[in-house]
Structure 1
Amino acid sequence: MARDHLHPTARKMLDLPQDERIRALQVDRWIDYPRATEALRRLRRLLETPERERMPCMVLHGPSNIGKTLIMRKFLRSNPPSFDATRGVEQRTVIAMQMPPTPDQRRFYRALLSVIGAPQGSNSTLASLEQVTCDVLRRMQPRMLIVDEVHHLLAGSHREQRASLNLLKYLANELKISIVAMGTNDAPVAFHTDAQICSRFTPFELPRWTESEDFRRLLSGFEALLPLNRASQLTQREIVQYLLAASDGLLGDVSRMLSDAAELAILDGSEAITLMHLETVAHANV
C-alpha cells in the first residue's frame, strides 16, 4: 500500500497497534503557514532588539482557538531556559505567563513570581512584590515577557485597566525587555485606552481562515502528518469548503475535526478521511 503521501514520522506510526495510532492523533501538531511564520519572525526580531529606552512591544491577537498558543509554545521551545553554573542562576530569555482573570496588580506580580519559581510572602505589599519581581528578573536576564489572555484587562474598571497597562509599561522600561501581549480581538481595545501605550504595542492579527491556497497547503500539511495508509485528498473543493464552514475558520477546530475524522477512518478500515467522516464528527460536537 503506497504511503508516499506521509511525512516519514507519520509513516513510522502506521506500524503501531491501532490504539497507539489513535492516541497519536491527539497530540498537537505544528504545521508552518505564512501568517504563523511571520508571527515567529516578528517575535525573533523583538527578542533580538538591543536594550534601549523605549523597547518595542507587540499585541498578538485573534479569535479564540485560532492558534496563538501553538505559536507561543513553538517560540518557547526555540528559546529554552538555561542554567548559569557560575552565577547559580537559571536564565530565561523568554518568560510566558497568563494575565489574571481580573486586572489586579498584586495578582499579576504573584502570577509572574509563581511562573519563575520565586518565593513570595502571603502578606506582601504591592511595593514589595514589585521589588522582588524586578530583583529576580534582573538576575534571570529575560529579553521578553509574553502575557497571554491579556483581554482580561477589560474585566476591570477603567482605572484598573490603566493601572495594569502602566504596570506592563513599567516592566518594559525598568527591565529593558519587550512585552508581547496575547489575546482575543478584544485585546487591542484594552490598549487603546492609553495612547502612549498603544503606540508602543504594535498589533499583529491572526485572522480566521478563508478559502485560499494557503489553507489548501495547510490541509496538505495535516494530511502528511495524520497516520493513515491512504491519501485523503483534503484539498478537494467540497472538503475545503465544508471544513471552513464547520470550523468557522478556526485552526483549532480544523485540527480537532481532522484528528477525530482520522480516528473514524482507522476504526472503519477505510484509512482515508472522507466528507462523510467530517460530517459525522461535526454533528457529534454540535
Structure 2
Amino acid sequence: MLEALKTAASSCTTRGEPTIEEVRRRAQWLLQGPVSSGELAFPSRSSFHRLYTEAAASGLLNGRDRWPGRHVVVEAVRIPHPSSLPQGLQVVFAVDTDTAVVLTAVVCEDAGPVDGRVLVARMCVPADLRAEWPSRAAPAQCAIPLVRPMTLVCGWGVGDRGLAEACRRHGIQLLRPRTVAPSERPHGERLVSQAAHSFKEYLVTATARGAPADGWSTATVQELLDRWAAEVWNHTAPPPSAAGPRYGRASGSPAQRYDTLVARIGWVATPLPPQDFLDLLVTRSRTVGPAGLFLDRRRYDGSVLNGLRSHKSAPGGNRSRFEIRTDPYHAAHVWLRDPSGQWLTVSAATASGPLRMSPTSAFERVEARDTKATPSPLRTRQLSSRTAEGAPTPVRYEPAQSPAPEDSDRVRATYHAQLPIEPPVLMAAIDRIEQQIMLNEHAPATRYGLLLHGPPGIGKTTVLDKVAQRHSARMARRPNGPPVPVVYVRLPPATTPRMLLNELAWAVEFPPRARAALTDLARHVCGAITAAGTGLVLVDECHYLQAAPGTTARLQEVVDYLCDRIPATFVFASIPPQLGDTGRQLWPERTQRRLVQVALTPTPPGSSWEATVARAEQALRLHRHAPGTLVQMADHLHHLTGGRTDHLAYLLRSGAIRAIYDGSEALTRDALDILAVSFSLSRP
C-alpha cells in the first residue's frame, strides 16, 4: 500500500501539487488487481487521508522529484539601513525552495536592477572558491552547499541584460513569477521573506558590531551578508515552514536538508569551469602601473603584477591595457588576463579586510546573553525561535569587566543603550506564564489564560518578549515543531473586536475574507491559529479594546470564544483592570474567572532591589567606574525611581552614555540625581 501511495503521489500529472483525492484515485487504479482478488483491502477515505499525512510528514513522499537546484527563487527585498540612507538598502536573495539554502545574496544601494549574469556566476561557484578560482582545487566541503540552479524564477530587481543568454548556455530554465505554478509561488516568497527578516536581526546583534564604526558602507554590509549566509542561515537557522502537505514539515537546518536530498538522489553538483565562471563576470580594461591597477576607486596590487608593470604594447608606445574581470558585489579580488592568456588573481591593496571580531571585546564576553541585552522587536508575525532558552543566571557580585581598548565610544554607547535590567518580579512573571503554558498543554479540561497587568512602563512588553523567545526556542527543538509557535499582536488605540480578529488572522498569514461577518471572522481565526499549531497567543495593550460604536458585540464574549476554541494559552497585557472605563468593560468578573491575574509591581527595597542593581552594575562597561558603587547607592536609587525598573533602566543607560561622551567613565550620585530631577523620575 505504501509503495502504491508513493508511486501515485509522484506520477500525478496535474499542474502544481496534486490533492490527496487525486492521489487516492490513482492509488486505487494501481491496486485494482490485488483489491479485486481479495489480497488487499483498500483503506477508507479517512484512513487513506491519515496514511497520506503521516507519510508526507515522515518524508516518504519526498522522492526523486525533489533535488537541490530544482527550483531557485531570486527576489529583491528592501531592508532599512542602519545609517542615514532614507531608502535603505536593496538585498537580492537567491534561495533554493527544496533545501532553503541561500545560494547567494548581494547588496546594492541604488534602486536599479542587479547584473543577472553575475548572480548566475555567484550561484554556480562557491564563495570560498572565487578568491583564487581557477588556480585552486575544490575543497572537500564548502562553507555554503553548492547548488546549481536548474530552474530560476527571477522576480523584480534582477536585470534582463545577458541573463537569458547565460541561462541558456548553462542549461538553466528561466521563468518569471507569473509563469510559476500557484503551489510553488507562496513557498518561495515566504523563504525570501524569512531570510530577509533573519538578516535584519543579524545586523543589530553584537556579531555585526564593527559595521557602525565602518560607517555602514555597502561593502561592509555585503561582507556581513556573506558571513550571515555561510554561518547563520545555512547552518544554524531553524527550518522554514514546509511548502505543502506533500512535502511534510522539513527538519534540520538548510545544510542538513541539502545533505538529506543529496543522499537520496545520489549525485552532487559541480562548480562551473573556470572560463565559464569568468565569462559571466563584468569585463573591464585597465593599465598596470608601478602602484598596480585602479578600478572603481580601489587599488589592486600584488607580486603577480611585477612582470606587467608599465608593460607597453610596442616599444615607445602607450601602456598595454589588460582585460579585467570583476564581481561588482565582491571587490576584494579581480582577475587579469596576462599576455600569455593566463588569468591572474589580484587582491585589493587598500581593502579593509574582515570586520574586526576580537574575542577579547567586552561585547564578545556578553554575547552568550545577547538576547537579554538586545530584545528582538515584537511583530504581528511568527517570532524568531533562534534565541537560546535559559533561566536567569544567579546574581554574582563581581566587578564590571573593563571594555576592550579597540571598542569605540560609539560601540560602547550602543551597548549601554540596551543595558539589561532584569528585576526578580519580571522573572517571576515569566516563570508563572511558562508554568501555565505547561499546564494548558496537558490539562484535560478548561484552559486558563493570564492577565498580566501593571502601570504603564512597568515591563509588561518585556515579559511578553522574553516568554515568546523562550517558547519559540523550545518549540524549535522539537522534531516536528509548529510553523508559527507564537503569535503576538500589539493593539492600537480604539481597537474593536473585529480589528482584534483581523490582527490575529494576519499574524498567522491567513488573511480573512473582506467584509466577513463577525461570527465567520471568529471561526476563521480559530481555524487559522489551530492549523498553524500556535501554542501561545500574546495580546499587548489590550486596554485599548472597546466595542465599536453602534454595535452590541460584547468584548468579553469574543475573548471567551477565542480562549475556548483555540488550543493555546492566551496572555493579555493591560493596565490594572480597575483603572478606567475601558478596563471595567473589558474585564468583568465573569471574564476574570477565566484569566489568572499576574500583577507587576515596583520592586520593594531590600535584597531583591540590591540584586537587580548589582546585576545591572556588573554589565556596565565603563573605564573608571568603581565596582560596588551602585550597590552602595541602592537605597538612594530606590528613592529616585520608586522601585520602578523602567526608571532605573533610564537612569543607568542615559548616565552611562553621558559618562562615555563626557569622559568621566563612571556613574556618580550627582550625575544620577541630575538625570532624575530633569525628567521628574523622583518618587512622588
TM-superposition CA deviations, 1:211-268 (whole Å, max 9, x none): 22111110001101121132351122xx334433333332112101101111222223
- The answer for the alignment partner of 2:658 in structure 1 is 264
Between the aligned partners of 2:445 and 2:519, the Cα distance in structure 1 is 23
Q: Does 1:22 align with 2:413?
A: yes
Q: How does the TM-score come out when normalised to structure 1? A: 0.83
Q: Does 1:66 align with 2:458?
A: yes
CA contact (8 A) 2:421 2:616 kept: no
- The answer for the alignment partner of 1:216 in structure 2 is 610
- The answer for the alignment partner of 1:41 in structure 2 is 431
Letter in 2 for 1:146: L
Between the aligned partners of 2:551 and 2:424, the Cα distance in structure 1 is 37
Letter in 2 for 1:65: G
Letter in 2 for 1:112: L
Q: Does 1:234 align with 2:625?
A: no
Between the aligned partners of 1:146 and 1:187, the Cα distance in structure 2 is 21
CA contact (8 A) 2:451 2:595 kept: yes
Larger Rg: 2
- The answer for the alignment partner of 2:385 in structure 1 is none
What are the within-5 Å matches in structure 2 for residues 94-133 of structure 1? Answer: 94-133=486-525
Q: By how many angstroms is 1:17 displaced?
A: 0.6
Gaps of 5+ in 1: 1-5
Between the aligned partners of 1:284 and 1:125, the Cα distance in structure 2 is 51
What are the within-5 Å matches in structure 2 for residues 139-150 of structure 1? Answer: 139-150=531-542
What are the within-5 Å matches in structure 2 for residues 169-208 of structure 1? Answer: 169-186=560-577, 189-190=583-584, 194-208=588-602
Q: By how many angstroms is 1:94 displaced?
A: 2.8
Between the aligned partners of 1:163 and 1:145, the Cα distance in structure 2 is 20
Q: By how many angstroms is 1:11 displaced?
A: 3.7
Q: Does 1:92 align with 2:484?
A: yes
CA contact (8 A) 1:30 1:70 kept: no
* SS in structure 2 at match of 1:249: coil
Between the aligned partners of 2:584 and 2:463, the Cα distance in structure 1 is 22
2:646 to 215, 231, 252: 252
Over the residues paired in the alignment, what is the CA RMSD in angstroms? Answer: 3.2
After the TM superposition, which parts of structure 1 deviate over 6 Å for at least 4 consecutive aligned residues? Answer: 157-162
CA contact (8 A) 2:418 2:653 kept: no
Gaps of 5+ in 2: 1-362, 367-399
Q: By how many angstroms is 1:64 displaced?
A: 1.0
Between the aligned partners of 2:507 and 2:524, the Cα distance in structure 1 is 14
Letter in 2 for 1:185: P
Greater shift after overlay, 33-42 or 201-210? Answer: 33-42
Q: By how many angstroms is 1:135 displaced?
A: 1.6
CA contact (8 A) 2:472 2:485 kept: yes
Letter in 2 for 1:39: A
Between the aligned partners of 1:107 and 1:186, the Cα distance in structure 2 is 21
Q: By how many angstroms is 1:51 displaced?
A: 4.7
Q: By how many angstroms is 1:157 displaced?
A: 8.4
* SS in structure 2 at match of 1:145: strand
Greater shift after overlay, 246-255 or 67-76? Answer: 246-255
Q: By how many angstroms is 1:174 displaced?
A: 0.8
CA contact (8 A) 2:555 2:586 kept: no
Q: By how many angstroms is 1:152 displaced?
A: 2.0
Between the aligned partners of 2:459 and 2:435, the Cα distance in structure 1 is 20
Between the aligned partners of 1:223 and 1:161, the Cα distance in structure 2 is 53
Letter in 1 for 2:433: L
* SS in structure 1 at match of 2:537: strand
Q: How does the TM-score come out when normalised to structure 2? A: 0.37
Work out the percentage of aligned pairs sharing the same amino acid. 19
* SS in structure 2 at match of 1:136: helix
Q: By how many angstroms is 1:180 displaced?
A: 1.3
Between the aligned partners of 1:62 and 1:247, the Cα distance in structure 2 is 16
Letter in 2 for 1:231: A
Q: By how many angstroms is 1:283 displaced?
A: 3.5
- The answer for the alignment partner of 2:337 in structure 1 is none
* SS in structure 2 at match of 1:276: helix
Between the aligned partners of 1:159 and 1:151, the Cα distance in structure 2 is 20
* Change in 2 beyond 3 A, CA 1:161/1:203: farther
* Change in 2 beyond 3 A, CA 1:18/1:44: same
- Larger relative contact order (Cα-Cα within 8 Å, sequence gap ≥ 6): 1
Q: Which has the higher helix share?
A: 1
Q: By how many angstroms is 1:285 displaced?
A: 2.7
- The answer for the alignment partner of 1:3 in structure 2 is none
* SS in structure 1 at match of 2:472: coil
* Change in 2 beyond 3 A, CA 1:166/1:28: farther
Between the aligned partners of 1:25 and 1:194, the Cα distance in structure 2 is 42
* Change in 2 beyond 3 A, CA 1:52/1:168: farther
Between the aligned partners of 2:419 and 2:555, the Cα distance in structure 1 is 32
Q: Does 1:282 align with 2:673?
A: no
CA contact (8 A) 1:55 1:178 kept: yes
Q: By how many angstroms is 1:77 displaced?
A: 1.0
* SS in structure 2 at match of 1:46: helix
1:76 to 468, 487, 495: 468
What are the within-5 Å matches in structure 2 for residues 136-175 of structure 1? Answer: 136-153=528-545, 156=547, 163-175=554-566
CA contact (8 A) 2:449 2:570 kept: yes
